[in-house]
A and B are shown apart, each in its own frame.
Chain A
Amino acid sequence: MTGQPVLSVNDLRVSFATRDGLAPVVNGLTYQVAQGETLAIVGESGSGKSVSSMALMQLLPTPPARVTGEALFEGRNLLTLEEPEIRKVRGNKIAMIFQDPMTSLNPVRTIGKQLIEPLELHRGLTGNVARERAAELLDAVGIPSARERLDDYPHQFSGGMRQRVVIAMGICCEPDVLIADEATTALDVTTQAKIIEEIKDLQDRLGMALIWITHDLGVVAGVADTVVVLYGGRIMEQAPVDGLFDQRRHPYTRGLLASLPVPGRNRPKKLNAIPGLPPDPLRLPAGCPFSPRCVHAVEVCRSDRPDVRWPLDDHAVACHFDPEELYA
């Protein structure tokens, strides 16, 4: 980690009350992210990756959600802030970008109006000053003819452009932390490449901490400084990006990387698929959530939850076994 953490999450737990019982979706998530750093949270469905960041900003309806733990930002716990206080943080100090720009934007309001709204709310800008700033922002995210396009509606933009507008809204108040939740998943790969470059640029210029939530390990390799791998609401492995891809100590990380199709003449004939199904929050095993699908699992894996161990200062694994024992 490069400096003082700007956001420090400790033992975050989120469960949902459903008709079939209490579903524990996030089970003890702990991480820190410093200014200018990019943390990637990797997971598939059932991992709790999106729910965890929505919980940070108190965006989950409680009930049916129940949130415990700590999320320290500027010396305060975000999870216990009162509504007026957390509203001052949202969109201002901590901003979120979601996957689908179509539903993040209001189809019946011009993007100018939507962009100006957080500026009014958090910076008290009005009238022409606000408009000017909004146009600057659109410029900054690479939208041509920014001034004219302020009066256009979302449907008049392409998917990539819309996502850029959403990014502009996210950074408009120069947040300390930007959370991008599958922000490029719905985009074409060529557009994705551009947008990732642009976000990295913005990050450099504004010094933001970036939390990038995704399931795409290729994107992780390209953007992250540190990676947290989630499964069934728990951390399986956490490491700097090089360490994670090189050492891949946890069987889930290893399985995930091994199952990706690799282009080139040396490709394996068949993919090494991880067997089994994604986890169901209502039917998690008592022990390690990955145990039903882990080829190395033994009895203790199913019954006892593994502690998080730190084989290196900056590399954590939640597994009963050492990699040397498993991958000899």
Chain B
Amino acid sequence: MTEVPTVAHRSRLRTTVETVLRNRLAVVGLIILGALIVTAIFAPLIAPHGINEIDIANRLSGPSTDHWFGTDDVGRDVFSRVVIASRVSLQVGLISVGIALALGVPVGLLSGFYGGKVDSILMRLMDILFSVPAIVLAIAIVAALGPNLVNAMIAIGIVYTPIFARITRGSVLSLRDAVFIRAVRSLGANDARIVISHILPNVIAPIIVQTSLSLAFAILAEAALSFLGLGVQPPNPAWGRMLSDGRGFFQQAPWMAIFPGLAIFVTVFAFNAVGDGLRDALDPQQRSVIEARGAGE
């Protein structure tokens, strides 16, 4: 006897994508991110001038056909520098969040799953990290390790580890006593299998959302570090430092600060918008299917 399922088969991925696309802000964010990624990948090809092409004669000149974003105090093309700097920002964002994930998620999994002393110790550690304001902590780490790009990424990664640990732990706690976990245990599964094959896939949704949001913060954090001269070192351009450099010339050449500032703003906004869209799409997706069926009660 074969039976037909009552709900039309719909791939989970497809439903998620559809829901996200329905959110206009998220779509705008996606487009911007797309443009950003393309820019970062093809940066050397897009940038019309070299980042260190000094042209004193044309210094501090406003936007023109040759220099879309104008030039800075030594005549470098702001547009080219903003474009090349996008690589730094993306790189830092992705790698630092990657570090935070690699450290935070396992901590959260172990903490949530085993509880007890393990949980207490790990969470105290996370609390210590959490209690220091992000920027201050990042500055401290970079100052200790030495100001360069790699250390900036490590610092930001460590700073964002606790949030991933907390989110993961919270989800694991709510799942730990779920019936299907007990069911799988009854089959003879060991802890590793339960955590990796069952708990992790079910807690991934909030982690994905947080990743997107953290990317936004990470870029902001990088901007802050380089603004303070602690990130990428000159002559490599970074949005934050361009902002800092542009400060001194704001009267004469506001475009030096405005464009990198805009770049930061737009990128952070885009990651946030996409993150919000993902949050709406990822968990309530189950709910709307169930609601439609439950309506038949």
Contact = CB atoms under 8 A, between A and B. Distances in A.
Interface of A: 16, 18-20, 23, 25, 45-51, 233, 275-283
A175 B42 CA distance: 74
B78 to A, nearest CB: 47
A97 B291 CA distance: 22
A48 B295 CA distance: 8
Interface string B256-297: 000000000000000000000000000000001001110111
A281 B295 contact: yes
Contacts of A277: 3-4, 6
B7 interface: yes
A46 B295 CA distance: 8
B187 interface: no
Q: Size band of the B side of the interface?
A: 10 to 19
Nearest to A54: B297
Interface string B59-84: 00000000000000000000000000
A280 B296 contact: yes
Contacts of B295: 16, 18, 23, 25, 51, 281
Q: Describe B's contact surface by its main secondary structure.
A: loop
A19 B288 contact: yes
Contacts of A49: 297
B296 A48 contact: yes
Nearest to B7: A280
Nearest to B18: A19
A25 B294 CA distance: 10
Contacts of A16: 292, 295
B107 to A, nearest CB: 33
B15 to A, nearest CB: 9
A16 B296 CA distance: 9
A279 B4 CA distance: 11
Nearest to B288: A19
Given A19-B292, A49-B297, A283 B3 contact: no
Q: Is the interface of A mostly helix, strand, loop or mixed?
A: loop
Given A49-B297, A50-B297, A20 B292 contact: yes
Given A18-B291, A25-B296, A277-B4, 19 more contacts: A16-B292, A16-B295, A18-B288, A18-B295, A19-B292, A20-B8, A45-B296, A45-B297, A49-B297, A51-B295, A51-B296, A276-B3, A277-B6, A279-B296, A280-B6, A280-B7, A280-B296, A282-B292, A283-B6
B179 interface: no
Contacts of B296: 23, 25, 45-48, 51, 233, 279-281
A43 B285 CA distance: 28
Nearest to B3: A277
Interface string B1-29: 10110111000000000000000000000
14 contacts: A16-B292, A18-B291, A18-B295, A20-B8, A20-B292, A23-B295, A25-B296, A45-B296, A48-B296, A50-B297, A275-B1, A277-B6, A280-B293, A283-B6
A280 B296 CA distance: 7
Contacts of A282: 292
Contacts of B297: 45-51
Contacts of A275: 1
Contacts of B4: 277
Contacts of B3: 276-277
Nearest to A281: B296
Contacts of B1: 275
A277 B7 CA distance: 12
